[in-house]
Homo-oligomer: A and B are copies of this chain.
Amino acid sequence: MFELNPRLEADTDWVLDLQLSRVLLMNDSRYPWLILVPRIPNVREWLDLSSTDQALLLAEQLQVSQCLQTLLSPDKLNIATLGNIVPQLHLHIIARFETDFAWPSPVWGRGDSVRYPPDEKVALLARYRSALAATSGV
A residues near B (Cβ < 8 Å) are 44-47, 54-55, 58, 61-62, 65-66, 69, 75-85, 87, 96, 103-106, 108-109
Chain B residues in 8 Å Cβ range of A87: 76
Query: What is the oligomeric copy number?
Result: 2
Chain B residues in 8 Å Cβ range of A44: 76
Asked if B79 and A62 make an inter-chain contact with CB atoms under 8 angstroms apart, the answer reads no
* Top 8 closest pairs, chain A to chain B, by CB: A80-B80, A84-B104, A58-B58, A78-B82, A79-B81, A85-B104, A106-B108, A105-B109
Q: Report how far A103 CA is from B109 CA in the complex, Å.
A: 12
Asked if B79 and A46 make an inter-chain contact with CB atoms under 8 angstroms apart, the answer reads yes
- The one of B54, B58, B103, B106 that contacts A54, using a Cβ cutoff of 8 Å: B58
- The one of B47, B58, B79 that contacts A65, using a Cβ cutoff of 8 Å: B47
Question: Can you identify 20 A-B contacts, CB atoms within 8 angstroms?
Answer: A44-B76, A46-B61, A46-B62, A46-B77, A47-B62, A47-B69, A47-B77, A58-B58, A75-B84, A76-B87, A77-B81, A78-B81, A78-B83, A78-B84, A79-B80, A80-B106, A84-B104, A84-B106, A85-B104, A106-B106
